[in-house]
Amino acid sequence: MKQLDEYNGKTKFIIVTGGVISGLGKGVAAASIGALLSGKLKVVPVKCDGYLNTDPGTMNPTEHGEVYVLDDGGEVDMDFGHYERFLNVVARSEWSLTMGRVFKLILEKERRGDYLGHTVQFIPHVTNVIKEHLYRVATKEKADVLLVEIGGTVGDLENQFFIEAARQLSHEVGQENCMFVHLTYVPIPNGVNEQKSKPTQMSVRDLNEKGIYPEILIGRCEEYIKPHIKEKIGLFCNLPASHVISGVDVKHVYEVPLVYEAEGVPEILLKRLQIYAPPKLDVWKKLVETLKRNQVNPRKTLTVAICGKYTTLEDSYASVVEALNHASAHLDLRVEIKWVDTERVENNTDAVAKSLHGVDAVIVPGGFGSRGIEGKIQLIQYVREKKIPFLGICYGMQLAVVEFARNVCGMKGANTTEVETETFKVETPVIAYLPGQESIKEMGATMRLGGHDVLIREGSRAEQIYKSRQIRERFRHRYEVNPEFVKILEKGGIIFSGKAANENIMQIMELSDHPYFLACQFHPELKSSLIHPAPLFLELLRAADERP
């Protein structure tokens, strides 16, 4: 295998698997391990997902959580948000590998004749493609550590070839260069009040049957795992009790690296892989302490409404929530989120007022389609007129323009062409397709995606916030403010304070007669981190904090 020949033996592989149940937080666990190492080493995360989609770009957020967009335009799993925030890296789309992408690569190779007439089989051909990809990323990035998270749980049909490829890889690079970490669940059943180790034992047994023997077990539990339970798990899983780590429930995910550090994970990695990287988390620890203190004794509590149509699964807006947490830590505030389903308030002014009663700030995040948009427009009108601090993101900006066009500029038929159907055509399309998007039929990876430069207007609120005349943010959209209506909207009072660097695309809008009414075509939440909060979120909370 060419990629194995190019592997220089310097990269260490840490492979994270999960068992018992899904949703335990493998992404956070993997990112937390990386956070303990990234102060000194170059840690590159790779996510292996078993689904047959090429990427998550076409998935409904209520099924799989938010689609996270990378600077290079890749649409990837939401766990990449944890990787970037915890490891301080700018991830690449090739660090994401789905089984759909693996099969696509294999079929392309077969059609080219790369297999020289051989029968194409799951083993070795599928597993070889997976290993080749991991070696390629490790070599290209010159990674000190390749942190590989295998999605799903042990026993899932979809991830079996990733697990088998990982087993093969561990033998190819040598045990001194590869180790496995397994995340499991230690429940405390109601009425029993005792930590149960059996699910962990069964999960590890399933992994052992596949030829993998984890050397760190992280037991997710609502409390720290008791010493005698650690001993019991270690006995059944062939591990010292010290290698059984408490993945205790915490209020904020940013506490997890600190828990792992206290549980001795850095020492285990040093002993096992000979990698010494003292965690550099001093600033991190101070901000986490602020978050924890404000859970109990906050200086002030703000209620922020997130208004969307995907509220049945809060992970649909995971990065928005995290951006609020980041900003709150820097402003010494506690943020309580109120979820507003925009479909339920449509055409009901009383419901709109009731849903925003007592709210200190409002966010209308990104989205697609016609469902729930009239509710969003009515909510935006309410916050504009009532002077409630407001941040619109992507679709939230587009609908803020629609609302302003209708209710301030007098364009009663104003709308977005996104709602057009065979029987309905928008009368005044203030939001329209980006040039070249009208004829696109395929849905995946066809939008305006990834990082783009934004030029900021001098003297604007946006310039005050960013303290710069040029910024770079991440985008995921197919529609824009229609250039034909820009002058009319500006005459009505909208300030388009951010534009694309090389295209006539409006990127930021703001109102001057409002404490904080700002909307952007990009997704500022995707670049926010605990250390460096997104400026638009920081100023939204600052405006809410200063509001009488």
How far is residue 425's CA from residue 405's CA, in Å, rounded to a whole number? Answer: 17
- CA dist., res. 37 & res. 418, Å (int): 45
Per-residue model confidence as pLDDT tens digits over 270-305: 999 998 888 889 999 999 999 999 988 898 999 999
Q: For a pLDDT cut of 90, what percent of the chain falls above it?
A: 76
65, amino acid identity: G
Task: For tokens 């529609």, name the residue.
Answer: 479
Level-2 CATH architecture, domain 296-433+480-497+508-546: 3-Layer(aba) Sandwich (3.40)
Q: What is the CATH architecture assignment of 2-280?
A: 3-Layer(aba) Sandwich (3.40)
| Higher per-residue confidence, 434 vs 485 | 485
CB count in 10 Å sphere of residue 63: 10
Higher pLDDT, 1 or 152: 152
Going by pLDDT thresholds of 50, 70 and 90, the confidence category of residue 368 is confident
Choice among 57-71, 237-251, 255-269 with the minimum mean pLDDT:
57-71
Cβ-Cβ contacts under 8 Å for 499 (sequence gap 6 or more) = 454, 455, 457, 505, 506, 507
pLDDT tops 70 at residue 384: yes
pLDDT at 367: 83
Q: Catalytic residues, which ones?
A: 394, 523, 525
Name the residue with higher pLDDT: 158 or 246.
246
Unique residue bearing structure tokens 């229609």: 482
User: pLDDT confidence of 420, banded at 50, 70, 90?
Assistant: confident
**Angle of CA points 35, 40, 41, to nearest 5°:** 80
Question: Can you spell out the DSSP letters for 58-123?
Answer: GS-HHHH-PPEE-TTS-EE-THHHHHHHHHT----GGGEEEHHHHHHHHHHHHHHTTTTTPPP-II
pLDDT for res 459:
96
Q: Which of 184, 211, 180, 162 is nearest to 14 (CA)?
A: 180
Strand order in the sheet with 96-98: 96-98, 43-49, 145-150, 12-18, 178-185, 216-221, 244-248
The Cβ-side half-sphere exposure at 403, using a 13 Å CA radius, reads 25
The pTM of this model reads: 0.91
For the chain, give every residue range classified as CATH 3.40.50.880: 296-433+480-497+508-546
Q: Provide the pLDDT confidence category of residue 448 given band limits of 50, 70 and 90.
A: confident
Residue 447 is predicted with a pLDDT of 78
Give residue 425's pLDDT band: very low, low, confident or very high (50, 70, 90).
confident
pLDDT at 81 over 60: yes
Q: Looking at residue 310, what is its pLDDT?
A: 65
- The whole-chain average pLDDT of the chain stands at 91
Residue scoring higher pLDDT (4 or 240): 240
What residue ranges of the chain are covered by domains with CATH 3.40.50.300? 2-280
Q: Tokens 């391990």 map to which residue?
A: 33
Task: Decide which of 51 and 256 is more confident.
Answer: 256
- Residue 418 main-chain phi, psi, to 5 deg: -65, -20
492 close to 512: Cβ distance less than 8 angstroms: no
**Average pLDDT rounded to a whole number, residues 182-194:** 92
With bands split at pLDDT 50, 70 and 90, how would you rate the model's confidence at 435?
A: confident
Residue 143 has pLDDT above 60, yes or no: yes
At residue 279, the pLDDT reads 84
Answer whether residue 429 shows pLDDT above 90.
yes
Confidence of residue 53 (pLDDT cuts 50, 70, 90): confident
267, 263, 261, 265: which is closest to 281 by C-alpha? 261
What is the reported pLDDT for 436? 62
pLDDT tens digits, residue range 149-180?
A: 999 999 888 899 999 999 999 999 998 999 99
Asked if 360 and 302 count as a contact pair (C-beta separation under 8 A), the reply is yes
Q: What is the mean pLDDT of residues 338-344?
A: 92
Check whether 2 has a pLDDT greater than 90: no
Closest CA to 479 of 424, 418, 520: 418
Give phi and psi for 402, each to the nearest 5: -60, -45
State the pLDDT confidence band at 442, using cuts at 50, 70 and 90.
low
Q: Answer yes or no: is pLDDT of 42 > 60.
A: yes
Query: Tokens 């493998």 sit at which residue?
Result: 26
Confidence of residue 189 (pLDDT cuts 50, 70, 90): very high
Nearest C-alpha neighbor of 239 from the set 193, 182, 309: 182
User: Which pLDDT band holds residue 68 (cuts at 50, 70, 90)?
Assistant: very high
Confidence of residue 445 (pLDDT cuts 50, 70, 90): low
At residue 91, the pLDDT reads 96
